[in-house]
Amino acid sequence: MKIDTICVLGAGNMGNGIAQVGACAGYNIILFDIASLQLEKAKATIQKSLTKLEEKKKLSAPASQILSAIKFTSTLTDVKTSQFVIEAATERRDLKFKLFKDLDEMMAKDVVLATNTSSISITEIASHTRRAEKVAGMHFMNPVPIMLLVEGIRGLATSDEAFSTVRTVAEKMGKTFIEAKDAPGFAVNRILMPMINEAFFALNENLASAKDIDQAMKLGCNFPMGPLELADFVGIDVCLFVCEILHRDLGDSKYRPSPLMRKYVEAGWFGRKTGRGVYTY
Ligand code: CAA
């Protein structure tokens, strides 16, 4: 099926980034969110990012033209006009299961339904539809306009055809596509989250200060951000959620979340988005 219009479900940080790179790649985008305030914020974020990229001559069309390819909507029927869906809603199992059930009922039978989940089983999400062969993981990295990777994940029933569609869309968006198994954390978070978790254990043990732990990894390993800074950037609540899934589903105590990480989440110190995490913003 020819794909002209892509629906991105959820206008949060990941959703608006995906909508932006999709529009930059020449797709018409339907960016759906139930909250109109979230859509307004998404529009402002995309505008700001496109302006930056335009100043650096990194856009192939004027920013205003790219922005006009995105329809910001809270009307569910708008979603039906798309030939490919990328779900980027809040990382909650019940919410995603319900969304996929509804999408399955609403969308044309041949539409591929991709999910940007960072940790929930693709096979389980697909089981809430009657088109499991057309459901796949399409995991973007934050900040989406800058990060080059998309991690593709096949559920147990994902067809070669649907997976190849996901790859084609990701590559058209300028991303490098890797394939990971439908196992807890896939590839990126299976490796990244234990490192971030270990940094919280180290901080709790006063191994070094937060700033020095981050400097160690930045200057010692050439990471763009230290692990604690990155936890604040991703959201400590998100990190805890993924660590809990790794621990539960892999069943190995080496994945147990650091009590300090849990304490930050209990305090509502989620990182940049709440103004306080390991650091204060
Ligand atoms: N749109 C457009 N441009 C952007 C941008 C955006 N959204 N975000 C950053 N930039 C640009 C900046 O304008 C800047 O451009 P110049 O160099 O031309 O000035 C450049 O990117 C670098 O940004 P900054 O100067 O603000 O800061 P920085 O050098 O520290 O880079 C960063 C910021 C790109 C985020 C970098 O720190 C980085 O790569 N950090 C690691 C990010 C990472 O690991 N992400 C993956 C997280 S894991 C995940 O997402 C998966 C999951 O499931 C949790």
Q: What is the pLDDT of residue 76?
A: 87
Pocket test for ligand 1, best of 13, 51, 52 (most atoms within 8 A of CB): 52
pTM of the predicted protein model: 0.96
Q: How many CA atoms lie within 13 A of 169 on its CB side?
A: 36
Q: Of 49, 116, 118, 119, which is the active-site residue?
A: 118
Q: How many domains does the chain have?
A: 2
139-187 confidence digits (pLDDT tens)? 999 999 999 999 999 999 999 999 999 999 999 999 999 999 999 999 9
Q: What is the pLDDT of residue 1?
A: 81
Q: Are strands 149-154 and 70-73 parallel, antiparallel or unpaired?
A: unpaired
CATH code of the domain in which 120 resides: 3.40.50.720
Task: Examine the domain organization and report whether 203 and 264 are in the same domain.
Answer: yes
Domain that holds residue 232: 190-272
Tell which of 180, 204, 233 closes a domain: 180
Across the range 258-270, mean pLDDT stands at 98
Dist. CA 224 → ligand 1 center (Å): 9
Q: What is the pLDDT of residue 45?
A: 97
195, part of any domain: yes
185, part of any domain: no
Q: How far is CA 174 from CA 49, 128, 145, 209, in A?
A: 16, 31, 10, 38
Q: What is the pLDDT of residue 79?
A: 96
Task: Examine the domain organization and report whether 52 and 83 are in the same domain.
Answer: yes
What mean pLDDT value characterizes the chain?
97
Task: Examine the domain organization and report whether 35 and 145 are in the same domain.
Answer: yes
278, part of any domain: no
Dist. CA 16 → ligand 1 center (Å): 15
Q: What is the pLDDT of residue 81?
A: 93
Dist. CA 270 → ligand 1 center (Å): 19
Residue nearest to atom 13 of ligand 1 (CA): 52
Q: What is the pLDDT of residue 208?
A: 98
Q: How many CA atoms lie within 13 A of 264 on its CB side?
A: 30
Catalytic status, residue 189 = yes
